[in-house]
Amino acid sequence: MELKYEFYIGATPEQVWNAFVSPEGTRKTFFGCVIDSTFKEGESMAYVGPGADGDQTVHVYGTIAAYKPHEVFSFIEHPGPSYHPNHEELESRVTFTLEVVGGCTKLTLVNDQWTENHPSLENASGHWWMILSNIKTVAETGKTLDFGW
């Protein structure tokens, strides 16, 4: 199974990148989370923020597969421990790619290599639309979308 999304964003690659990688950006676009990582290939990463285990809830964790600023960010991920007791066995790959198209930036997200019967697949297919729409809005306007939560 592969989830694939493409968005055209009226912002520079740097602005789009910052919306989904920088602490200021991820707090806005990933519901208060920041990425805890050195951003070196082969090293660990985690999305940490408010959730079931308090302000330091690990929502997703894994290993950096590729990291080239303003071009590609890819990681192998597992759901956080508070989501599924067998979280270590569950895995998928997430890859963000940026490219300049005219005066805008094309953001492509591919979420693939899902473990068979992964319980987060259905949830991810809906939540990516919200996250990517938020990234587009933040990169273009600096404001977040109000999902009414």
Q: What is the per-residue pLDDT across 103-136, written as a single tens digit (0 to 9) for each?
A: 999 999 999 999 999 999 998 998 999 999 999 9
**70-81: average pLDDT:** 96
Confidence at residue 47, expressed as pLDDT on a 0 to 100 scale: 96
pLDDT, tens digit, for every residue of 49-68? 999 899 999 999 999 999 99
Asked whether residue 38 carries a pLDDT value surpassing 90, the answer given is yes
Q: How far, in Å, are 14, 57, 109 from residue 106 at the CA level? A: 12, 31, 10
Confidence at residue 70, expressed as pLDDT on a 0 to 100 scale: 97
Farthest-apart Cα atoms in the chain, separation: 46
Contacts of 3 (CB under 8 A, 6+ apart): 109, 110, 111, 112, 121, 124, 125, 128
**38-58: average pLDDT:** 95
* Reduced DSSP (H G I as helix, E B as strand, rest coil) percent helix, strand, coil of the chain, to 5: 25, 40, 30
Asked whether residue 3 carries a pLDDT value surpassing 90, the answer given is yes
pLDDT confidence bin for 73, thresholds 50/70/90: very high
Average confidence score pLDDT of the chain: 95
The kind and range of the H/E element at 84 are none
Domains in the chain, CATH or no CATH each:
3-141 (3.30.530.20)
Confidence at residue 147, expressed as pLDDT on a 0 to 100 scale: 87
Asked whether residue 9 carries a pLDDT value surpassing 80, the answer given is yes
**76-83: average pLDDT:** 94
Residue 80: CB atoms within 10 A of its CB come to: 19
Asked whether residue 149 carries a pLDDT value surpassing 80, the answer given is no
